[in-house]
């Protein structure tokens, strides 16, 4: 029997740029993702991507010269797992993906999680799901210097079919929120590729953390709007986004549980306005996609992912989704190992 690890991308329904301030998020794993077919163990980690070609082999503990290109992510994952005690067992594997990169669906996190599962499998090394997600989060920072929160990796690891994950990124408490069957989640690509390491993502995080220090808070969930009144204009806008976004996450989850897609859609549109005006991570192309989706009958829409390009998520009914075009995705199960008969 052959083995493969698989990890999905994720769509974050609402709760953007809140994870790294200990805020609330509501991601769902999707049916598209990254697979690593495990061809066997080896003295090194030797991976070939069907899309990008072979990576330079690296040590099982992630040591040695730093890899370049897409191989930075697997090498960083190996290093983080080694720090947790994973035995130094290498593997040969083939990486395949049906997840579009740069679209805000977290292709990098899916790659990290799929590689992590494969490395754990060949070494008979087990981690709790959230511990695995945290290791992959640290790998993202190690690989490309992006100080991301836990959102992407947790969404990929914890996904459940038909549900989104309401996650408090400060306490890591979570619960599953059913997504109504009549809800269509439509991803519309702006055509502007997003690369977080070359965007203003790190700047926004630094601005938000500065604002948190000014008000003496560790987590955005500790704050109300009244706590922001004495801030300078920039710090006010950055914190106002995350404080109001936390509230929108709570109300959005309640709207889904009540089956009120119109209320949920309004919250998506409010989220986009906040990301555009207070957090300033939108682009003209994203703004236009939101307008087009709403004019076509979507309940609401907003940019998804870190911004600065990528995609828009529209919430619609099935009939409207057909008019919007784009990619219809569904809340799906999270990362897993597969065994199959090799032909």
| Catalytic residue positions, numbered | 152
- Element spanning 5, H or E: strand 2-12
Residues linked to residue 247 through DSSP beta bridges, in sequence order: none
- Return the DSSP state at 226: G
Rounded alpha-carbon distances, angstroms, from residue 244 to 104, 154, 188 = 22, 22, 25
Nearest residue to 332 via CA among 133, 185, 120: 185
Backbone angles phi, psi at 318, to 5 degrees: -60, -40
Query: Would strands 90-97 and 174-178 be described as parallel, antiparallel, or unpaired?
Result: unpaired
* C-alpha to C-alpha distance for 200 and 222, rounded to whole angstroms: 26
Determine contact, residues 320/296, Cβ cutoff 8 Å: yes
Determine contact, residues 10/106, Cβ cutoff 8 Å: yes
């Amino acid at each position: 029997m052959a083995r493969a690890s698989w990890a999905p991308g994720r769509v974050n329904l609402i709760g953007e740029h809140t994870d790294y301030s200990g805020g609330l998020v509501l991601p769902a794993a999707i049916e598209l993702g990254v697979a690593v077919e495990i061809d066997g163990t080896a003295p090194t980690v030797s991976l070939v991507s069907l899309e990008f070609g072979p990576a330079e082999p690296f040590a099982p503990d992630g040591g040695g010269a730093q890899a370049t290109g897409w191989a930075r992510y697997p090498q960083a994952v190996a290093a983080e797992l080694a720090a947790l005690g994973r035995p130094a067992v290498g593997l040969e594997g083939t990486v395949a993906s049906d997840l579009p990169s740069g679209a805000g669906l977290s292709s990098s996190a899916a790659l990290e999680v799929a590689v992590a599962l494969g490395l754990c499998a060949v070494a008979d090394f087990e981690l709790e799901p959230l511990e695995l997600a945290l290791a992959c989060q640290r790998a993202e920072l190690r690989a490309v210097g992006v100080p991301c929160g836990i959102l992407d990796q947790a969404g990929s690891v914890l996904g459940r079919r038909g549900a989104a994950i309401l996650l408090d990124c400060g306490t890591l408490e979570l619960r599953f929120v059913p997504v109504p069957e009549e809800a269509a989640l439509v991803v519309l690509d702006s055509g502007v590729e997003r690369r977080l390491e070359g965007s203003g993502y790190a700047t926004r995080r630094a601005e938000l953390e500065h604002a948190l220090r000014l008000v003496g808070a560790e987590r955005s969930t500790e704050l109300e709007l009244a706590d922001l009144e004495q801030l300078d204009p920039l710090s006010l806008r950055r914190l106002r986004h995350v404080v109001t976004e936390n509230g929108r996450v709570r109300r959005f989850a309640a709207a889904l549980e009540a089956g009120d897609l119109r209320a949920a859609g309004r919250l998506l549109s409010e989220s986009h306005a906040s990301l555009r005006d207070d957090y300033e991570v939108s682009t003209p192309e994203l703004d236009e996609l939101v307008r087009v989706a709403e004019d076509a009958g979507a309940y609401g829409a907003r940019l998804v992912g870190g911004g600065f390009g990528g995609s828009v998520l529209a919430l619609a009914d099935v009939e409207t989704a057909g008019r919007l075009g784009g990619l219809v995705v569904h809340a799906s199960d999270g990362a897993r190992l597969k065994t199959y008969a090799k032909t």
